[in-house]
Structure 1
């Protein structure tokens, strides 16, 4: 059988068709090398192991987290032959793998977001306590979900819960978490957004430290609480949340009060208030009794003072009565039955009556002398 003969361009086209048919996409794990971003749009790097390396090319939009040389990454890509640059992988998705690389990527992203102020304390909002209705983002099949609901119902069964079902790990987790956060913010009624999952490896928890999920939490209109059950590593979405809980169980405890504790507190407060009111009434009653006694004493003294004053006034007034004056030897002078005044004039021969205390004298004016 005669072997076909191709020119270079045709050979490359045939090989690309063969690659596309046999391996439309491949997943490759290796060490990141010579990583660079061009014009803010394109990324170039080599993926290598101890013996080989592959040239990779893609868009910055495929980057879900910060990357740097030396990281172990998993690349989903299309193998291609380029007319000028030879064999390369066209990236569709890339993510760090392995505990060290995942932590390093998260640390790079943390520094970037921290510089933007996404984790600043002044951005944190207080959660309503207790909330009336929450948006719960979690896997309904997880132990974390069951523990959270169990404690929540035991402590405060009056809370309404809107559950947004998501995958919390794996390829679709990041997108589902972001969609759930956005949907919860679009729906009306919830006044706290809670996102939970149990513990796991760094790879299991990676979705909660991606840039898109972290930014979605930071941009939430609804106050947020995030609880990832892993005390060693804190997910970036926890740092962006208004409140972080150490575990889903702790989230339930922080979110609502214990109804039994509230009942005891109300009973104690009621007893205390009753005592305060009773003590206040007794004190007021004692004050009123004392005020009544003081007022009576004041009124008695006031009345006595007024009586004394009136008596003195009466005595002074009586001392000016004509009869009292007459007792001291004075008399009333009348002319024609009318009391004479200081302005009246007299002429010799005028008849006047002088009224004394016991007698009335009728006299004739003999002489008028001027003073």
Structure 2
């Protein structure tokens, strides 16, 4: 049976003990983990460490990547990036926060080519090569179209087919180039420079048919991107299929989803031209007819509204007389109001005249001076009476009065000691004796210490 002072409950852990045990359990259960998710809440304090959260649709986990590990990361991640991390699961004991100490970080799901694509894309974007403000407008009716592509690929066939259908009168010049493999990069740059040197094309289509990321990679090279950006001719990029996006698409003045679409964007449709001309002719004819009818109707209305100018002058003169009378009345009323207000102000000024205030204060000052003089006299009389009384009191207790009644004060001449006992002097000592009037200097002949 438990005594009243014995606690039967199990021992409770302190918060520190609990967190320490949880940290040990996590670190021993998870030696190293790979985790993938979206970066959120990224921060870089002055210490150089990185702190962020990794989240998916349902959950998130805190992460810390210390300076010694994050210095190896070439591209600093940002919020919203999908990343993969490798690290150790642990617990930050001070706050009890479950977290991962990150030792390695990389983009999630990106191969080497895709990562290179993103890095170049970010670099050129920071330089402003994708800005809309720098893109050149395409001519609405080009006189000559240039095409940079392979002479044997499907792209040139699709482009020529569309141009022949839409507007066969526009001449087309092919600037042949390889569109796949390592040599293709320099080949494309050379073809673009050749088109500019030729100087006949006023719009340039650059592209090829579809393929894998590796097949299209020459259009993701920095040299090709800069050649397109520096091209003086307006450019249309048509690389791959609609889902394929390359650096060339982003740098070009216009991106077309396919080579056929590029041919449609740069060429006018001659049948559409005929239809537009017919439509505009019809609209113009109807517009002219409606304008003539409207002008005839307006002319009739204006003729009906036209009045004799003399009548308008008389109306204006009458209106002017009316305004003149109203102005005189308004001035007279305003003058009367000002006069009434001025009278009120004069009355207030008289009531609050400075002379009246000065007279009042002068009388008040005179009364205060009388009271001050009376108070001074009374206080002087009280002090005079008190001084007389004090003098009389002092006279009663004055030692001089005592001396006047026959008493004397004897002092030893050598040190001025007041003599109260005969033993204080010896025969031959000189003494000074103070009487009621004057001082006697004498020499002691004998001393008798006995009381008489």
TM-score, scaled to structure 2: 0.42
Give the 5 Å matches for 1:250-261.
250-261=261-272
Q: Is the 8 A contact 1:145 1:196 kept in 2?
A: no
Q: Aligned match of 1:249 in 260, 281, 286?
A: 260
Q: Aligned match of 1:123 in 134, 141, 144?
A: 134
Matched residues in 2 for 1:177 and 1:133: separation? 20
Partner of 1:347: none
Q: Aligned match of 1:148 in 134, 159, 173?
A: 159
Partner of 1:162: 173
- Whose helix fraction is larger, Structure 1's or Structure 2's? 2
Partner of 1:235: 246
Deviation of 1:119 (Å): 1.4
Deviation of 1:281 (Å): 1.6
Which sections of structure 2, spanning at least 5 residues, go unmatched?
1-73, 76-109, 312-452
Q: Is the 8 A contact 2:203 2:266 kept in 1?
A: no
Partner of 1:205: 216
Deviation of 1:183 (Å): 1.2
Partner of 1:185: 196
Q: Is the 8 A contact 2:216 2:240 kept in 1?
A: no
Matched residues in 1 for 2:112 and 2:293: separation? 73
What CA deviation, in whole Å up to 9, does each residue of 1:71-100 have, x standing for no partner? xxxxxxxxxxxxxxxxxxxxxxxxxxxx93
Deviation of 1:201 (Å): 0.9
Q: Is the 8 A contact 1:199 1:229 kept in 2?
A: yes
Matched residues in 2 for 1:116 and 1:193: separation? 23
Q: Is the 8 A contact 1:238 1:244 kept in 2?
A: yes
Matched residues in 2 for 1:291 and 1:171: separation? 79
- From the CA coordinates, give the structure whose radius of gyration is larger: 2
Which sections of structure 1, spanning at least 5 residues, go unmatched?
1-66, 69-98, 303-371
- What SS is found at the alignment partner of 2:178? coil
- What SS is found at the alignment partner of 1:279? helix
- What SS is found at the alignment partner of 1:119? coil
Matched residues in 2 for 1:257 and 1:161: separation? 14
Give the 5 Å matches for 1:288-367.
288=299
Deviation of 1:166 (Å): 0.8
Partner of 1:269: 280
TM-score, scaled to structure 1: 0.51
What CA deviation, in whole Å up to 9, does each residue of 1:97-141 have, x standing for no partner? xx9322222222212222221112221121111211122101121
Matched residues in 1 for 2:272 and 2:244: separation? 33
Partner of 1:112: 123
Matched residues in 2 for 1:221 and 1:265: separation? 31
What CA deviation, in whole Å up to 9, does each residue of 1:279-319 have, x standing for no partner? 11223234445666777x969x99xxxxxxxxxxxxxxxxx
Q: Aligned match of 1:220 in 226, 231, 236?
A: 231
What CA deviation, in whole Å up to 9, does each residue of 1:205-239 have, x standing for no partner? 11111111111001111111111123333111111
Partner of 1:279: 290
Question: Against the structure 1 CA distance between its residues 278 and 100, is the aligned structure 2 distance closer, same or farther, given a 3 Å change threshold?
Answer: same
- Whose strand fraction is larger, Structure 1's or Structure 2's? 1
Matched residues in 2 for 1:269 and 1:233: separation? 39
Structure having greater relative contact order (Cα 8 Å, sep ≥ 6)? 1
Q: Aligned match of 1:133 in 130, 140, 144?
A: 144
Partner of 1:369: none
Give the 5 Å matches for 1:33-44.
none
- What SS is found at the alignment partner of 2:111? helix
Partner of 1:7: none
Q: Aligned match of 2:113 in 102, 107, 111?
A: 102
Matched residues in 2 for 1:247 and 1:290: separation? 60
Partner of 2:187: 176
Q: Is the 8 A contact 2:243 2:257 kept in 1?
A: no
Matched residues in 2 for 1:187 and 1:165: separation? 14
